[in-house]
C-alpha cells in the first residue's frame, strides 16, 4: 500500500463502510461479510457482522496452506534464563493445535473464558492462540499481579480454566506465581474447574490435585484439533485496563474487526512486509503484547520476537541492540520510558554502536508521550526514523501515527502524527463545539469507532456508555487533551485532568514537563499540580538526574525555574522541585502522576495494582519538604 495519505483518509471519510469492506478482503474468511458494520439494540457497533473466520487460522494455518510452513513465526529470547528458541509456522501450529486439544478435552468450547496468568514464555502465546482456535475467550492477566487483583478478574471473567506457570523472572529475581494463583482462586467467588501449570526449573510449583494439571504431561496425551469457525462479532479476548481498582473494566475485542485492523495496521502504521522481523518490547499482559507481539505480526506473516527481559540490566543497556543484531529485527516498538532508561545508563549509545543494527529500519514509540529530548537523542544516536504514535487499550491500535505504509509524512516533534485512516479524530471544547486549529480541547473520535476497537465493556454496557460516550453525543471520549495543528498533526498534552488551574489560569503540566525534560541534566521527570491555599493549584516537578552529571542540584533547580518562567510566564510559578532517585511507574512504564499528587497533598493513595514497586512512595515521602 503506497500512495497519498490524504487521498486514503478522504476515501475513508467519504464512505467508511466501503473503505473497511475493501480492507476486509485482505484476510481469508470462512464466510465473507456483506456489510461493514451494524448496530445492536443498545446502539453499539459491530464490524463485519455475518462474516465467519478464525483468528488462529489467520495467524497460522493460512500461511502453512500458502507455502510458508518453514518460515519463522516466533522467536523467544530470554536473557533472564539464557535461553532462546525459534518456531516456524508449522512448529507453532503443531503446538497450538495440540494444546487446543488439551483445552477441548477439559470441556472448553466457543464462548468459554480462559484466564492466562503467565510470564513472557512461548507457552503463553500458545495458550492465547489455542483459545482463539476453539473460539474461546482468553483474558490475559499480567504475570506477577497480586492475588487480589487476579481474583477480581477471575470473578469478572468467570473462566473455566486458568493457564499459569510456576514462576516468572524479573531480572535476577524469581517470582513464584503458584502461591499467588492459589490465593487468588481461594479469594475468588467464582471457582475454576482446572489450573494448567507450566513447571519452570527456576521454581517448581506445588500441585493441588485434582484441580492442578501439569502442562507438559497433559499436552503429550492430547490430539490436535482444527480451528472452530466463529462469527465476526464473537469476542476474541477480554483485557482489563491497567490501574483497575474495585470492579475491573474488561475491554472486549471482537474477532472480525480485530483481524482486519491488525492486518491493516501492520502495513499502514508500521510499514512492515510479510517475512519481516518485528520486535515489540512489551508484555503479553498489556494491549501492545496482544496486538503486536502475538496477533498482528502473525496474521500479517511476520516473525515476532517474544523478549523475556528488560531494556537495561539484562544484562546492560545494549540489550535491545543485541536482539536486533541476533535476529535481524526490522522494526522495534517500545515505550519512551525504555529508551530514557537506556539513555540514563548509556548516554552516548555505545551499545548501539557495539552491534550490527543495519537490519533495523525504524523505531516506534507509544504508551506515553514521546518527550522531545528522548526523540532527539534517538535520532542523533541511531540516525533512524523515530516515529511516535498514540493509541489506547480500548482502541487496540493506533489512533494517530505517521502512516508510513501509505506515505511517510514530515515529523513534527511532540506530535503523535496524523489521524490514522479509520479514526475521525476531533477536538471539542467543554460545550461540545469544534476547536480551531492549535486550540486545545478534549480529544474525541466520531462514532463509529473503526474495526478493532472495543464495542463495549465485558458484561457492563452501561459502564461503557457512561465512561466513554455520555459527555459528547456521537463521540467516543478518549480522556486525553490536546490539539490539531494547521496540518492535522495531533499533539497529546496529557489526560484532561492534567490541566491545572493556577489563580484562574489554566495551564498544561504536559507543556511544563516538556520544558523540564529538555534540560541536559534531567533523565526523566514528572510535573503535576498540587493544592495551594492562595492560588488553588501550583505545579510541582520531580526530577531524576542523569548519571555522572556534574552540575550542582541547586543550580539545576534554579535553571529550571527560570526556564519555565521564561517560556510560559511568571504565572506558571514552578518553584517546587524535588530530586528523586526514581519515579513511580506502572509495569508498562507509565509515570503515576496522580499518585504523586495524592502523596504531596496528603490524600489517601489509591495505588494501582500495576505499579512496579509500591515502596517507592516511602522513598519519595522522605524527600518532601
Could you tell me the CA-to-CA distances from 193 to 106, 212, 428 in Å, in that order? 9, 9, 48
Do 159 and 216 fall into the same domain?
yes
Instruction: Please say whether the beta carbons of 388 and 370 come within 8 A.
Output: yes
Instruction: Provide the edge-to-edge strand list for the sheet that holds 83-88.
Output: 83-88, 72-78, 303-307, 277-280, 331-334, 362-365, 386-388
- What's the CA gap between 515 and 95, in Å, rounded? 51
**Where does residue 536 fall: left (phi above 0), alpha (psi -120 to 50 degrees), or beta otherwise?**
left
Distances (CA, A) of 293 to 262, 277, 521: 11, 11, 34
B/e letters for 13-30, b = 16+ CB within 10 Å, e = fewer, are eeebeebbbebbeebebe
Contacts of residue 25, defined as CB under 8 A and 6 or more positions apart, other chains included, come to: 32
379 domain residue, yes or no? no
pLDDT of residue 31: 98
Task: Give SS3 for 393.
Answer: coil
Q: Are residues 593 and 546 in the same domain?
A: yes
pLDDT for the residue 263: 98
Closest C-alpha to 395, from 284, 479, 271: 479
Residues 176 and 291 both lie in one domain: yes
For residues 190 and 101, membership in a common domain is answered with yes
In a domain, 463, yes or no: yes
Same domain flag for 441 and 523: no
Q: Report the candidate in 389, 373, 370 with the shortest Cα–Cα distance to residue 489.
A: 389
Tell me the CATH number at 547: 3.30.300.30
Distance of CA 88 to the CA centre of its chain: 26
Q: Cβ atoms within 10 A of the Cβ of 358, count?
A: 9
What count of other Cβ atoms lies within 10 Å of the Cβ of residue 581?
Answer: 10
pTM score of the predicted model:
0.85
Length in residues, the chain: 625
The three-class DSSP label of residue 583 is coil
Residues 445 and 592 placed together within one structural domain of the fold:
no
The number of folded domains in the chain is: 2
In-domain check, residue 459: yes
477 and 572 both lie in a single domain: no
Q: Exposed, middle or buried by CB within 10 Å (0-12, 13-18, 19+), for 497?
A: middle
| Nearest in space to 413 (alpha carbons), one of 356, 485, 342, 352 | 485
Residue at which a domain ends, from 482, 513, 544: 482
Q: What is the pLDDT of residue 549?
A: 79
> Is residue 531 a contact partner of residue 537, using CB atoms and an 8 Å limit?
yes
The partner residues of 78 in beta bridges, in order of sequence, read 83
Residues 6 or more apart in contact with residue 383 via CB below 8 angstroms: none
Do 64 and 128 lie in one domain? The reply is yes
pLDDT the model gives residue 245:
41
Residue 89 placed within a domain: yes
d(CA 545, CA 542): 10
Nearest CA to 389 out of 403, 379, 405, 378 is that of: 403
Do residues 419 and 535 both lie within one domain? no
Residue 364 lies in a domain: no
Of 404, 357, 366, residue with least CA distance to 385: 404
User: pLDDT below 70 — which residues of the chain?
Assistant: 1-3, 242-247, 496-499, 501-506, 534-535, 569-571, 588
| 314 inside domain | no
CB contact set of 611 (below 8 Å; sequence gap of 6+): 584, 585, 586, 587, 592, 595
Tell me the pairing of strands 161-165 and 499-502. unpaired
Q: Which residues contact 224 (CB under 8 A, 6 or more apart)?
A: 94, 97, 98, 100, 101
Which residue from 141, 215, 204, 149 is spatially nearest to 178, judged by alpha carbons? 204
Residues 96, 162, single domain; the answer is yes
> Can you tell me the distance from the alpha carbon of 156 to that of 367, in angstroms, rounded to the nearest whole number?
26
The predicted structure's pLDDT at residue 1: 47
Nearest to 608 by CA among 140, 143, 145: 145
CATH number, domain of 295, equals 3.40.50.12780
Question: Is 77 domain-assigned?
Answer: yes
DSSP string, 509-559: HHHHHHHHHTSTTEEEEEEEEEEETTTEEEEEEEEEEPTT--S-HHHHHHH
Residues 393 and 518 in one domain: no
Tell me if 370 is assigned to some domain.
no
Residues 594 and 557 in one domain: yes
| Residue ending a domain, choose from 423, 451, 482 | 482
What is the Cα–Cα distance from 181 to 486, expressed in whole angstroms?
52
C-beta neighbour count of 436 within 10 angstroms: 12
Pairing of strands 161-165, 113-117: parallel
Per DSSP bridges, beta strands 505-508 and 331-334 are: unpaired
Q: 428 has which bridge partners?
A: 434, 442
Residue 588: domain span: 503-621
Amino acid at each position: 500500500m503506497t500512495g497519498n495519505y490524504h487521498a486514503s483518509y478522504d476515501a475513508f471519510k467519504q464512505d467508511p463502510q466501503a473503505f473497511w469492506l475493501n480492507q476486509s478482503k485482505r484476510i481469508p474468511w470462512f464466510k465473507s461479510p456483506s456489510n461493514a458494520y451494524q448496530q445492536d439494540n443498545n446502539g453499539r457497533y459491530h464490524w463485519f457482522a455475518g462474516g465467519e473466520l478464525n483468528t488462529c487460522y489467520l495467524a497460522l494455518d493460512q500461511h502453512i496452506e500458502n507455502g510458508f510452513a518453514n518460515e519463522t513465526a516466533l522467536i523467544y529470547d530470554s536473557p533472564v534464563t539464557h535461553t532462546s528458541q525459534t518456531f516456524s509456522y508449522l512448529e507453532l501450529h503443531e503446538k497450538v493445535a495440540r494444546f487446543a486439544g488439551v483445552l477441548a478435552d477439559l470441556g472448553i468450547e466457543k464462548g468459554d473464558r480462559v484466564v492466562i496468568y503467565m510470564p513472557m514464555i512461548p507457552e503463553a502465546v500458545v495458550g492465547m492462540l489455542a483459545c482463539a482456535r476453539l473460539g474461546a475467550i482468553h483474558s490475559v492477566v499480567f504475570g506477577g499481579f497480586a492475588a487480589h487483583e487476579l481474583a477480581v478478574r477471575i470473578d469478572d471473567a468467570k473462566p473455566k480454566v486458568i493457564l499459569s506457570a510456576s514462576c516468572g523472572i524479573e531480572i535476577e529475581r524469581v517470582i513464584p506465581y503458584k502461591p499467588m494463583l492459589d490465593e487468588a482462586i481461594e479469594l475468588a467467588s467464582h471457582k475454576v474447574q482446572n489450573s494448567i501449570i507450566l513447571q519452570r526449573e527456576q521454581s517448581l510449583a506445588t500441585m493441588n490435585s485434582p484441580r492442578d494439571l501439569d502442562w507438559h504431561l497433559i499436552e503429550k496425551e492430547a490430539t490436535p484439533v482444527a480451528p472452530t469457525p466463529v462469527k465476526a462479532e464473537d469476542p476474541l479476548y477480554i483485557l482489563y485496563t491497567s490501574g483497575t481498582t474495585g470492579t475491573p473494566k474488561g475491554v472486549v475485542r471482537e474477532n472480525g474487526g480485530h483481524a482486519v485492523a491488525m492486518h491493516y495496521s501492520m502495513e499502514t502504521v508500521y510499514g512492515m512486509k510479510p517475512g519481516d522481523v518485528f520486535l515489540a518490547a512489551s508484555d503479553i499482559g498489556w494491549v501492545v503484547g496482544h496486538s503486536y507481539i502475538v496477533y498482528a505480526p502473525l496474521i500479517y506473516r511476520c516473525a515476532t520476537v517474544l523478549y523475556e527481559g528488560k531494556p537495561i540490566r539484562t544484562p546492560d543497556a545494549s540489550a535491545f541492540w543485541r536482539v536486533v543484531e541476533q535476529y535481524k529485527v526490522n522494526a522495534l516498538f517500545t515505550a519512551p520510558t525504555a529508551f530514557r532508561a537506556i539513555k540514563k545508563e548509556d548516554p552516548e549509545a555505545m551499545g548501539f554502536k557495539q552491534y550490527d543494527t543495519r537490519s533495523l529500519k525504524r523505531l516506534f514509540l507509544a504508551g506515553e508521550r514521546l518527550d522531545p529530548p528522548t526523540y532527539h537523542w534517538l535520532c542523533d544516536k541511531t540516525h533512524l526514523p523515530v516515529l511516535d504514535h498514540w493509541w489506547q487499550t480500548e482502541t487496540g491500535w493506533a489512533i494517530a501515527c505517521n502512516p508510513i505504509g501509505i506515505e511517510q509524512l514530515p515529523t513534527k516533534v511532540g506530535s503523535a502524527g496524523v489521524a490514522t485512516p479509520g479514526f475521525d479524530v476531533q477536538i471539542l471544547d467543554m460545550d461540545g463545539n469544534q476547536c480551531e486549529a492549535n486550540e486545545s480541547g478534549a480529544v474525541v473520535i466520531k462514532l463509529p469507532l473503526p474495526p478493532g476497537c472495543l464495542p463495549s465493556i465485558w458484561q457492563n454496557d452501561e459502564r461503557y456508555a457512561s465512561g466513554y460516550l455520555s459527555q459528547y453525543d456521537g463521540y467516543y471520549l478518549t480522556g486525553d487533551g490536546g490539539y490539531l495543528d494547521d496540518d492535522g498533526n495531533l499533539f497529546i498534552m496529557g489526560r484532561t485532568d492534567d490541566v491545572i488551574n493556577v489563580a484562574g489560569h489554566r495551564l498544561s503540566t504536559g507543556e511544563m514537563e516538556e520544558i523540564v525534560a529538555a534540560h541536559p541534566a534531567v533523565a526523566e521527570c514528572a510535573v503535576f499540580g498540587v493544592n495551594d491555599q492562595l492560588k488553588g493549584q501550583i505545579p510541582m516537578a520531580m526530577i531524576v538526574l542523569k548519571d555522572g552529571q556534574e552540575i550542582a542540584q541547586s543550580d539545576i533547580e534554579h535553571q529550571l525555574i527560570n526556564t519555565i518562567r521564561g517560556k510560559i510566564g511568571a504565572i506558571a510559578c514552578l518553584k517546587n522541585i524535588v530530586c528523586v532517585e526514581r519515579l513511580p511507574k506502572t509495569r508498562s512504564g507509565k509515570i503515576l502522576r496522580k499518585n504523586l499528587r495524592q502523596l504531596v497533598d496528603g490524600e489517601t493513595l489509591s495505588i494501582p495494582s500495576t505499579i512496579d514497586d509500591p515502596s517507592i512512595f516511602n522513598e519519595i515521602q522522605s524527600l518532601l519538604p
